[in-house]
Amino acid sequence: MTAASGQRMSVVALSGGIGGAKLALGLKRILAPDSLTVIANTADDFEHIGLSVSPDIDTLVYTLANLSNIELGWGRAGETWTFMDAMKLLGGETWFNLGDGDLAMHVQRTYRLNKGDSLTAITGDVCKALNVGARILPMSDQPVRTQLRADEGWLDFQDYFVGRQSEPVIHELRYTGIEAAQAAPDVIDAIRSTDTTAIVICPSNPLISIEPILAIAGIRDAIADASAPAIAISPIIDGNAVKGPTAKMLRELGHEATAATVLGRYEGLLDAYIADPRDMKSLQNTGSRVSMVPADIMMVTLDDRERLARTVMDVAAQLVS
Amino acid sequence: MTAASGQRMSVVALSGGIGGAKLALGLKRILAPDSLTVIANTADDFEHIGLSVSPDIDTLVYTLANLSNIELGWGRAGETWTFMDAMKLLGGETWFNLGDGDLAMHVQRTYRLNKGDSLTAITGDVCKALNVGARILPMSDQPVRTQLRADEGWLDFQDYFVGRQSEPVIHELRYTGIEAAQAAPDVIDAIRSTDTTAIVICPSNPLISIEPILAIAGIRDAIADASAPAIAISPIIDGNAVKGPTAKMLRELGHEATAATVLGRYEGLLDAYIADPRDMKSLQNTGSRVSMVPADIMMVTLDDRERLARTVMDVAAQLVS
């Protein structure tokens, strides 16, 4: 895909897991080969039974490699569960499901991390081996971990999200390790590159997927200063999150669960904001100077993903021209 | 089972993997509950893609828990191989097969070892969880690793045995770590206990399965001094190993591959030696004072295992009375 100016479109997308990966797949499918870089949130990562698990990276890998499990909505296609059955027999920890094929990713990642390889290098090799057809960059090679304060104290993200099914009411949120974390190699360069024609903030949960990326020193400034326009897609449609606990978390932390709230959190970064037509009026009432683009942002089918990706790229082309 | 004297039979068996586990299962089935302790070789253990693998312990666990894979002759029943397929796709190491269910054992073991738990404690918990019905004690909680010198230099055991299918000609053998290794807690006590009515050296490969156990400080002396009689079963029948590279390895290291050679290696330890009737003449020619017991020692069916176990226990009872 090329812009009206004839320049080849090259996209850097910031993404969490499932919702972001849907748009990333749409973008990959409409762009020329090797024109998509995804900066993946790693604040959901955790160590489970000794294994280093990176849920958002893996969701992006499986989705872009056409290996994702359509029935489950997460994990790997053709998955089996013999490991989990055996763990149950052994009396081991079974609250976090690890499929047999998915385990290969975690075992290999843990093995290489312990040998001293970086998450960036490991993820790059996985992308090559599985023909992902896009570059996936972890936001950082240092550990950052989202934690949420509930009545009972601070919870690690996966304990809250998977272990407790996002049920506890939260009062506060923090990214442990964020001060020490550096943007992974190539992340800032990709954002700043004059070859980049659009920076896309995927419709992921702002609190736990996008803002950990933005909180790493240098990334927010790089986006604000980049020559490429930045475009976000709302993860909220008419007051409801498309998936997951985004709306609940926003409300519990004292915000309205609206497209406008998310826009406000990205203020100073964006050139355009794509949201559901029903949210246009309240967005215009914010007085923001960001271009508001009404579009059907719900992604169910593969066509939906390509259609939204085309909308994003059309907006980017107009902003550049 | 009780001896003629009315004493309940309680057995301590030294074992490697498959051959030893067959006899251990026979012994478990004919003895009263909780009357079998197996001291397992751990010199075959290794670290593979970051996981701590203990092949002999696991073979004993699966065999005694009736979870062993009868078709394959190794590994776990009802096994699936999705992990290996995914590792292949990832370009990871695939020379050592790890079944999906088997992986639970290695992941859980590695996780607990890294937390500081001992191999003895971990193995004890596995035996409880899987209703093994016998006590399996690793010979040591410290790492001991068999290495073999071939033309190309020293090879780690699994590289030789699995990676190279035992093909390289070997010139020398060593147990790395043996000087620093201590007998695991309970190992010496089990051998010395006056409750123990028989010490059984299973028909395992002497070089790589039994002698690493005997090489740990205190174990050989404890067997020689124990009140219980010690009985070995030959792993060689009429000049051939029942399974695996025992005969080849003995020959390459300058020994005849005979029942008599194995007897000689256990000299000073044994009260009785059970071997194939065809080997009796050469055994008697050794001039050994050990009681020679001819028996059909080939174990194919479950009945074979129980029959040989009964022979062993009859010999023990006669030696005690």
pLDDT category at A299 given cuts 50, 70, 90 is very high
Q: Residue B318: pLDDT above 60?
A: yes
Which residues are CB-neighbours of B312 under 8 A, at least 6 positions away? B23, B27, B198, B200, B231, B233, B274
The per-residue pLDDT for A71 is: 80
| pLDDT confidence of residue A7 | 62
Q: How many Å apart are CA B289 and CA B56, to the nearest integer?
A: 32
Give the distance, in angstroms, between the CA of residue A168 and the centroid of all CA atoms in the same chain: 23
Question: Is the Cβ of B79 closer than 8 Å to some Cβ of chain A?
Answer: yes
Residue A72 binned pLDDT confidence (cut-offs 50, 70, 90): confident
Place B109 in a pLDDT band, splitting at 50, 70 and 90: very high
Examine the domain organization and report whether B249 and B297 are in the same domain.
Answer: yes
Q: Is residue B117 part of a domain?
A: yes
Range A134-152 average pLDDT: 98
| Chain A: closest CA distance from residue B86 (Å) | 5
Asked whether residue B235 falls in the same domain as residue B316, the answer is yes
Assess contact for B101 and B36: CB atoms under 8 A.
no
Q: Is the dihedral of CA B23, B29, B30, B31 positive or negative?
A: positive
Query: Are B263 and B116 in a shared domain?
Result: no
What integer best gives the mean pLDDT of chain A?
Answer: 95
Angle value at C-alpha B218, between B213 and B222, nearest 5 degrees: 90
> Which of A49, A89, A101 is facing B111, going by the closest CB pair?
A49
Average pLDDT on B301-305 reads 95
**Helices then strands (H, E): number in chain A?**
13, 14
pLDDT band at A6, cuts 50/70/90? low
Percentage of the residues of chain B whose pLDDT score is greater than 70: 98
A235 and A262 Cβ atoms separated by less than 8 Å: yes
- Across the interface, whether the CB atoms of A51 and B107 are under 8 A apart is answered yes
Domain carrying residue B155: 145-180
Average pLDDT over residues A168-183: 97
Q: List, for residues A32-61, the tens digit of each pLDDT value.
A: 999 999 999 999 999 999 999 999 999 999
Q: Of A3-17, B35-49, B132-146, which range is least confident?
A: A3-17
pLDDT digits 0-9 by tens, B146-181: 999 999 999 999 999 999 999 999 999 999 999 999
Nearest Cα neighbor of A295 from A278, A282, A281 is A278
Contact criterion met (CB below 8 Å) for B249 and B219? no
**DSSP string across B195-236:** T--EEEE-SS-IIIIIHHHHTSTTHHHHHHH-SS-EEEE-SE
- Asked if the Cβ–Cβ distance from B86 to A101 is below 8 Å, we say yes
Domain with residue A268: its CATH number is: 3.40.50.10680
For residue A97 the two structure tokens come to 């499901």
**B38 φ, ψ (degrees, to nearest 5):** -110, 125
Cα dihedral across residues B269, B274, B279, B284: positive or negative? positive
- Answer whether A92 touches B (CB < 8 Å): yes
CB pair distance less than 8 Å for A105 and B86: yes
How far is the C-alpha of A307 from the C-alpha of B173, rounded, in Å? 66
- Give yes or no for residue A5 having a pLDDT over 60: no
Same domain, B119 and B234: no
Q: What is the DSSP letter of B8?
A: B
Model confidence over B182-194: pLDDT tens digits? 999 999 999 999 9
In contact, B113 and B11? CB cutoff 8 Å: no
| Interface contact flag, B49 A114, Cβ < 8 Å | no
**Cβ pairs A/B, distance under 8 A:** 100
Q: How many CB atoms lie within 10 A of CB A165?
A: 9
Q: b/e map of A118-149 (b: 16 or more CB within 10 Å)?
A: bbbebbbbbbebbebbbbbbbbbbbbbbbbbe
> pLDDT tens, A104-117?
999 999 999 999 99
Which of A83, A125, A129 has the CB atom closest to B89's CB atom? A129
pLDDT 10s digits, A219-258: 999 999 999 999 999 999 998 877 788 999 999 999 999 9
Question: Among residues 124-183 of chain A, which lie with CB inside 8 Å of chain B?
Answer: 125-126, 129-130
Establish if B207 belongs to a structural domain: no
- Interface with chain A: mutation pick from B90, B102, B110, B127, highest number of A CBs within 10 Å: B90
Kindly list the residues from chain A whose CB atom is less than 8 angstroms away from the CB atom of residue B105. Answer: 86, 90
Residue B102 domain-assigned (yes or no): yes
What are φ and ψ of residue A191, in 5° steps? -65, -45
**Residue A6 domain-assigned (yes or no):** no
CA-angle at B144, arms to A51 and A112, nearest 5°: 25
| Angstrom distance (rounded) from CA A93 to CA B298 | 41
User: Is residue A282 domain-resident?
Assistant: yes
Does the pLDDT of residue A3 top 60, yes or no?
no
Share of chain B above pLDDT 90, in %: 91
| CA B230 to the chain's CA centroid | 15
CA B302-B306-B312 angle, to 5 degrees, is 145
Q: How confident is the model at residue A165 (pLDDT cuts 50, 70, 90)?
A: very high
For residue B244, is pLDDT > 90? no
> Hey, are the CB atoms on B108 and A87 less than 8 Å from each other?
yes
Provide the pLDDT for residue B273.
Answer: 98
Residue B205, domain member (yes or no): no
The domain that holds B27 is classified in CATH as: 1.10.8.240
Mean pLDDT of B238-266: 92
pTM: predicted TM-score of the whole model, two decimal places: 0.93
CB contact under 8 A, B82 and A92: no
Range B114-126 average pLDDT? 98
Closest approach of chain B CAs to the CA of A313, in angstroms? 32
The answer to whether residue A80 scores a pLDDT higher than 70 is yes
Q: Mean pLDDT, to the nearest integer, of A158-179? A: 95
Q: Rounded to an integer, what distance in angstroms lies between the CA atom of residue B213 and that of residue B8?
A: 26
Residues B80-92, mean pLDDT to the nearest whole number: 97
Of the candidates B238, B243, B236, the one whose C-alpha atom is nearest the C-alpha of residue B263 is B236
B55 with B194, same domain: the answer is yes
Question: CB distance from A70 to chain B under 8 Å?
Answer: no
Residues of A220-250 as b/e, b for ≥16 C-beta within 10 angstroms? Answer: bebbeebebbbbbbbbbbeeebbbbbbbebb
Q: How many domains does chain A have?
A: 1
Q: What is the pLDDT of residues A81-103, one digit of tens each?
A: 999 999 999 999 999 999 999 99
**Shared-domain flag, residues B76 and B121:** yes
Residue B288 has pLDDT above 90, yes or no: yes
How large is the average pLDDT for residues B37-64? 97
| Residue-level pLDDT at B62 | 97
Which H helix or E strand runs over A213? helix A211-214
Minimum-distance CB partner of B104 among A92, A108, A114: A92
Tell me the one-letter amino acid at A174. Answer: R
Q: Residue A59: inside a domain, yes or no?
A: yes
With an 8 Å Cβ cutoff, is A77 touching chain B?
no
Beta strands in chain B (DSSP E): 11-15, 36-40, 46-48, 51-53, 135-138, 145-150, 153-156, 170-176, 198-201, 230-233, 236-237, 240-241, 272-275, 291-294
- Contact A86/B100, CB-based, under 8 Å? yes
Structure tokens at B281: 């003449």
Share of chain B residues as helix, strand and coil, in percent rounded to the nearest 5: 40, 20, 40
- A4 within domain boundaries: no
DSSP string for A258-308? SHHHHHHHTTTT-SEEEE-GGGHHHHHTTT--SEEEE------SHHHHHHH
Q: Quick one: pLDDT at residue B242?
A: 76
Closest among B3, B56, B59, B57 to B31, alpha carbons compared: B3
